[in-house]
Structure formats: C-alpha cells, structure tokens
Structure 1
Amino acid sequence: MAIEDNIDVIINRTEYGGSIPVDNVQALASKDLKDVPVRYIRPDIEAEEVLADDLFQIPVIDLSKLNDAGQPGYDDELVKLHIACRDWGFFQLINHRVSETIDAMNKVTEEFFNLPLEEKMKCAQLPNNIKGYGQAFVVSDEQKLNWGDMFFLLPLPISLRHLRFWPQNPNSFRKTLEKYSKTLHGVSMQLFKLISINLGIEPEAIGKMFENCTQGIRMNYYPPCPEARKVLGLAPHSDATGLTLLVQVNEVQGLQIKKNSKWVPIKPIPGSIIVNVGDVLEILSNGEYNSIEHRAIVDFEKERLSIAAFHSPGLGAMIGPLPELVKEKTHKYKTIDVQYYLKLIINSKLDGKCLIDHMKIQ
C-alpha cells in the first residue's frame, strides 16, 4: 500500500476517530435564539483578561523585502522575521503579491456559506472523517462546543483531495480552491526557506519536508450570538501543523492570541496574511520557535468568516527536532512518524498546547 493510501486509511478508520456530529450552528443562530444552549456557554471566559486592542500588536513582515538576499532592507526584515517567530509565534505578512487569489477565494467562501443548509450538506462529513462540511475535534458528548461551523478540505497531496467533498456550487469553487492551494503553498515554502536561514541551517532543510506537504484548508463561519461574551467560536489551542496562513474574509475581528497569560486581540491589516508557527515547527526547531495558543471570539450582531491554510510535513516524514539543531543540545521533543502524529491530532479536542505537552521529553 502506498504511503498516501495508508494515510487516507488513517484519516478515515474508525479506531482513529472523527468528530461526533453536532447541530449546525449557522442554522441554530438563524432561529433568533433568546437562550443559547448550555453546551456552548463557557462561564469562565468572561473573567479572563483581554488587553486593550491597541496595547500590543503582532509584528508585521514585508515579504517584498525578502525576495532576494542583498536587496535593501533584506537583513533587517530577516531579523524581524526571526524575532516574530521566536517571541510572538504570529505575524502579519504584507506585500505578498497574492491578493487577487485571496480575494477570489474569499468570494467563493462567502457564497458557499450563504447557500441553503441542504445545499451545503451535499458536502457534509461522513462518519469518522474530518473532510467536508461539519465540525472537528468533538470527541465526547460532554465537552463544550464551539459557536461556529467549518468546511475542511485537503487539497494536497492530490491523492487526498476526494472531489466528493468539493462543491460544484458555487461553480467557480473548485478552480478557485485549486489555485488558492497552490499559491499559499508557494508562500509557505518561501517562508520555510527564510526560517531555515534564520535557524542557521541549509536554506532548503525545512522546505524539503514540506515539498509534498499535507495541506488542509479550513473555511470558518462564526454566526453572531446573543451571548457572544459567554461563547467561543474556536476554543484555545495551538495549531498541530508547521505553518498556518490565515486570511480574514470579512471585516469582523475575532482572533486573539495568548501573550504573557493574557489575551491579545489581533487587528488584521487589510489584505494581509496572518501567519503563525505550529506545533511541528516548534518541534523541528527544538523549541527555538514556539507555537502560540489562540482562540476565536464571536460578535453580537455580525457574522465572521476566515480561511486557514495548514501546512504539515510530507506523508513519509518523521516529526522530531532537526539533527542540525540538536548537535550540542538536548532533545526537548520526541521523534515520531506522521501516522502516530495524525492519530494524536484526530483523537484530541482543542485544549491549549496538549499535543506539544505529549511530545515533550520530560
């Protein structure tokens, strides 16, 4: 059996789990609720400290200054990128020159979520499968639920695409997603090269692990909620991947990151890509860079939409500290194969940095 086929089995097999079906939140919100169901209510979040919007903001990286070594501003911007990955784990990427592709993807995403529920359900997840329209990381009937719906697809590798889940309505969706997938993978590969340079290793060292990467595209829809301050669109977590590239579809803000035990709201720069370090990159760098807890809040009156592109190593990779970075240091993390790593991800609910905690060598 080919590696790609084997991974597809892992993603679908019952023993590896899937998400327990739950109510569609967009449909639930459309009922003009007076009382939000108790499974969405999180009593503790109102007491958590959220910093003023303008007190802290994540670094901004100008990709146009990093196209060629030696060009004006290259060295300074490379240092800024290193500090962003090391001290923040998040940054906003500007002048990336892919705005047209992003705008097209934003458009078809809005069109998809505006379709009637029965039309969207044509792309619904199957039992024990993470691909399609539905939910993720619901692993018990007792856990708190997120106030949001998602549409998750695996554009890369091509063997995992399964067009059964790719909608034909909007009719431009498939063509748009294919271009978006290729374009954002290209941006991530450029960033992996720059990150390798900053870590003092061969420029292609990290990129080789992501040439045939597993790329997931998650489209998020967070409906307005009458008790918005008591629910979460997405629970606190760090991303299990290498790099995540997030775009804001509409103007409603909602992303918050955890900095010094406090929540920091992120103000997206129009047209920017918000990039964050994932657990895999923390492990590969042996802790030089850190994945950061983040969450999504929702609005009282307006819906929020976003699109996250997750980039994970190729299907045959081993996940562990890069040998070049631990020659004179202690290994801080275990080394495991992709199959076991996927099993850990799929069987977990979103819970802070629980995956990293499992991977750390005590």
Structure 2
Amino acid sequence: MAPSFLDGNSLFNFVVRDGNGVKGMVDLGLSEVPEKYVQPPKERIDKLNAIIHDNPPIDLSKLDGPDHDLVVDEIARAAETLGFFQVANHGVPVDVLESLKDAANHFFGQPPEKKAAYRVGASPSPSVKYGTSFVPEKEKALEWKDYISMLYTTDAEAHEYWPKECKDVALEYLRTSMKMVRKLLKVLIGKLGVTLDDSNIDGLIGLKIVNMNFYPTCPNPELTVGVGRHSDMGVLTVLLQDGIGGLYVKMEEEIDGKRKGDWVEIPPVAGALVINVGDTLQILSNGRYKSAEHRVRTTSTKSRVSIPIFTIPKPTEKIGPLPQVVEGDGVARYREFVFQEYMNNFFSNAHDGKKSLDFAKNI
C-alpha cells in the first residue's frame, strides 16, 4: 500500500529511512508538494525576479600564456567578491562531462531498492552513501534532492565499492579535475603572497568527495528548494551543472551594479565548470576570499542533475589563517583548529547560510 504523504512520519519513513528518496515519492504521483517540503517564505527562491550572473567563463588555458597575470587577477577578484566563477579550457574532456551527466541520470533512474542498497547502515562501504536532503532529522523543511556521495580513498576501493553505473566516469572526472584544482589553489594562495609546496597542498585537499545530486521534477517549485542556503566546508568545489540550471549565489558585497545580499543565478554554460570557494579557503585567507553562500531551486519541467567534487583538508590537518596573511592584516579573524572538529560541526547541523563559519571565528 502506498504511504500517506499527508502523514509526516509515514512520508519520512518512506523517503528517508526506507531509501525511496524524493524520486520514489514523485514516481508514485504527486499533484502538490507535501507539507514536509514546503519552505518558509523567506527561504523560497523567486525565479521570476532573479538577477543573472552573465560574466563569461575564465579561460584557464591563458594561465600558460602572456595573459597569465590578467587571468590570475580575474580569478582572485572573483574569489574575493562573489566566491563563484566559471572556467573554460579546464582540462576535463567535454565527453567526460557528458558521460557524467548520463551516468548520474542512469543511476537515479534505477528502481529504489538498487539505490537504497547504498544508504547508511546498508552500504557495502562507509565511503559510499545514498541519501536525501542534508540532515533530514534536523530540518524543519526537507530539501527536494536525492544524492549519492562517494569519498575517494584509492582507485582500488572506488572500483570495488562505488556504484558500477557511474564509478569509471566519476573517477575520470576526479582525476582530470584535480590537476585544475591544484593549479587554481596555487594561483589563489600565491596571490596572498604565500607559496605552498605540494605536500602542503596535499594536506589541504587530502579528502576528495564526488557527489551526484538529483532534483526530481516538482509540482510546486516556488514552495521548495533543492538545496537550502549554505556554504561548502572545504577549500574549492568543482561543479558540473546540466543544461537546466537553478544555482543561486548570494552577493557578499556590492559589485557590477548588484547589491550586497542580492541572489544571482549562475546559468549553465556548455562545456564549462563552476568553481566555488569553501569555508576553509576563507579561513586560510583570513577572510580575503569569500566562501559563497548558495542554494538551488527546483523545477516543474524536467529533473536536474549536478555533480560536485568537494576538495577538503585531511581530518588531522590543522587549519587556521596563514601566518603571512595575518602578519599583513594585523589580526587573525579565525582561530586554529583540527579539521575533523569542523567536519563534525558542519554535518551536525541543518543548512543555515554561512553559520558554519561561526565555529572558526575568533570571539
């Protein structure tokens, strides 16, 4: 018998505990969004009045030519203001990006029991987790999203435990993206007047997580969110959008006629990747670079996929503002901590803008 989506407990058990996800609920037929997914008015996304972020992607191939310094300035300015930018000629083959989107749609198109085999408590590996929303047990309104999260340790473990529907292309996406991440990180840290060697960078991006996110069609997209307001906890995030769009970023300060607090849409650009600054890079830069507060809307016309790679410090890594930056600023805006503590705090709370950074602030 189909569960009653009018009953909150029945819905929660079906979607979250039994691993059917939002897609399982949608596939049973919905004419309206269940109450458990209706967001408070202040969290809803006004698509009609959205501001479009129309800056063209940054051409990373120019880092190796006479325009190197101009491109470095462009990357740094984006990290200092919006915390988001798109890149072209990034080194990840376009056919890999297309295969990645196909693989994500294929994985989420499977019967619920195939996906639920990876939920917490059932997954063959703690490195692979299928779920829905972010912290469903703590959220007043659930996010309209299902996901598979794959923590990278070794190629061998990935080949053994990652879902066969997506593991090969996800590994290729990760491998080719990491060359770009290292290059961007050297550029951004170098712009702070600091030089990091490869072992320093290894510590800062020692954890890599590939997520595949699926946003099913929604009968009332104006009432829901795919992902609520948050910033990412790591150093840099690499994101592949499909052609549907729905990513919104909050302006940290006034720039190019856009006001502080405005939400701007980052439209998908064919062949481009989105890069965003995470909390860790904001802390390392003593606040010069801004981790981007962002969120995702839903749509009634077509399901959407997005595939981020989160680059994160090793749990044992000590994180704090870089001493050379603090010396120049005259004040440390954040304290030093072991990154595992930050992770524990981040995953213990529902999304709530950039409150995750409060954990690291010097009081």
- The TM tier, using the shorter chain, reads 0.7 to 0.9
- For residue 183 of structure 2, what is the aligned residue in structure 1? 190
Distance of 1:62 and 1:136 partners within structure 2: 34
Q: Figure out how many residues of one structure are paired with residues of the other and give that number.
A: 336
The one-letter code of the counterpart of 1:144 is A
Residues 119-167 of structure 1, C-alpha deviation per residue, up to 9 Å, x if partnerless? 2222223279684111353253662100110110101x32995666512
Determine which of 238, 243, 255 is the counterpart of 1:251.
243
Distance of 1:142 and 1:57 partners within structure 2: 33
Aligned to 2:267, the other structure's residue is in SS state coil
Asked if the contact 2:133/2:143 (under 8 Å) is kept, the reply is no
Distance of 2:308 and 2:188 partners within structure 1: 20
- For residue 27 of structure 2, what is the aligned residue in structure 1? 30
- For residue 94 of structure 1, what is the aligned residue in structure 2? 88
Distance of 1:47 and 1:109 partners within structure 2: 26
- For residue 209 of structure 2, what is the aligned residue in structure 1? 216
- For residue 342 of structure 2, what is the aligned residue in structure 1? 341
Residues 158-180 of structure 1, C-alpha deviation per residue, up to 9 Å, x if partnerless? 29956665123x2xx32222222
Residues 320-348 of structure 1, C-alpha deviation per residue, up to 9 Å, x if partnerless? 11112112421101111022122112212
Residues 217-259 of structure 1, C-alpha deviation per residue, up to 9 Å, x if partnerless? 11100011111100000011000111000001x3211101112
Distance of 2:43 and 2:348 partners within structure 1: 28
Asked if the contact 1:52/1:264 (under 8 Å) is kept, the reply is no
User: CA distance change for structure 1 residues 343 and 84 in 2, over 3 Å: closer, same or farther?
Assistant: same
User: CA distance change for structure 1 residues 303 and 214 in 2, over 3 Å: closer, same or farther?
Assistant: same
Residues 77-96 of structure 1, C-alpha deviation per residue, up to 9 Å, x if partnerless? 11111111001100001111
The one-letter code of the counterpart of 1:293 is E
Distance of 1:46 and 1:327 partners within structure 2: 39
Which moved further from structure 2: 41-50 or 196-205? Answer: 41-50
- For residue 118 of structure 2, what is the aligned residue in structure 1? 123
User: CA distance change for structure 1 residues 186 and 42 in 2, over 3 Å: closer, same or farther?
Assistant: same
Cα shift at 1:23 = 5.4
The one-letter code of the counterpart of 1:333 is Y
Distance of 2:293 and 2:205 partners within structure 1: 27
Asked if the contact 2:44/2:223 (under 8 Å) is kept, the reply is no
Residues 68-121 of structure 1, C-alpha deviation per residue, up to 9 Å, x if partnerless? 3xx221111111111110011000011113123322322211211111212222
Which moved further from structure 2: 27-36 or 217-226? Answer: 27-36
Which moved further from structure 2: 115-124 or 346-355? Answer: 115-124
**2:41 is equivalent to residue 44 of structure 1:** yes
The one-letter code of the counterpart of 2:220 is E
- For residue 162 of structure 2, what is the aligned residue in structure 1? 166
User: CA distance change for structure 1 residues 58 and 131 in 2, over 3 Å: closer, same or farther?
Assistant: farther
Residues 26-82 of structure 1, C-alpha deviation per residue, up to 9 Å, x if partnerless? 01112221232111001314776668556543563110001x3xx221111111111
Determine which of 157, 164, 176 is the counterpart of 2:169.
176
Aligned to 1:123, the other structure's residue is in SS state coil
Which moved further from structure 2: 86-95 or 142-151? Answer: 142-151
Show structure 2 runs of 5+ residues with no match: 1-15, 252-259
Distance of 2:168 and 2:59 partners within structure 1: 28
The one-letter code of the counterpart of 2:349 is S
User: CA distance change for structure 1 residues 176 and 235 in 2, over 3 Å: closer, same or farther?
Assistant: same
- For residue 288 of structure 1, what is the aligned residue in structure 2? 288
Distance of 1:323 and 1:161 partners within structure 2: 37
Aligned to 1:229, the other structure's residue is in SS state helix
Asked if the contact 1:125/1:133 (under 8 Å) is kept, the reply is yes
The one-letter code of the counterpart of 2:248 is Q
Show structure 1 runs of 5+ residues with no match: 1-19
RMSD: 2.6
The one-letter code of the counterpart of 1:283 is I
- For residue 256 of structure 2, what is the aligned residue in structure 1? none
The one-letter code of the counterpart of 1:104 is S
- For residue 272 of structure 1, what is the aligned residue in structure 2? 272
Determine which of 98, 103, 109 is the counterpart of 2:98.
103
- For residue 78 of structure 1, what is the aligned residue in structure 2? 72
Distance of 1:357 and 1:287 partners within structure 2: 13
Aligned to 1:334, the other structure's residue is in SS state coil
Asked if the contact 1:90/1:275 (under 8 Å) is kept, the reply is yes
User: CA distance change for structure 1 residues 184 and 47 in 2, over 3 Å: closer, same or farther?
Assistant: closer
Asked if the contact 1:333/1:360 (under 8 Å) is kept, the reply is yes
- For residue 57 of structure 1, what is the aligned residue in structure 2? 54
Percent identity of paired positions between Structure 1 and Structure 2: 31
Distance of 1:48 and 1:118 partners within structure 2: 32
The TM-score normalised by the length of structure 2 is 0.84
Asked if the contact 2:143/2:225 (under 8 Å) is kept, the reply is yes
User: CA distance change for structure 1 residues 207 and 298 in 2, over 3 Å: closer, same or farther?
Assistant: farther
The one-letter code of the counterpart of 1:114 is G
Residue correspondence of structure 1 range 130-141 to structure 2 within 5 A:
131-135=128-132, 137-138=134-135, 140=137
User: CA distance change for structure 1 residues 148 and 359 in 2, over 3 Å: closer, same or farther?
Assistant: same
Which moved further from structure 2: 27-36 or 299-308? Answer: 27-36
The TM-score normalised by the length of structure 1 is 0.85
Asked if the contact 1:232/1:296 (under 8 Å) is kept, the reply is yes
- For residue 236 of structure 1, what is the aligned residue in structure 2? 229
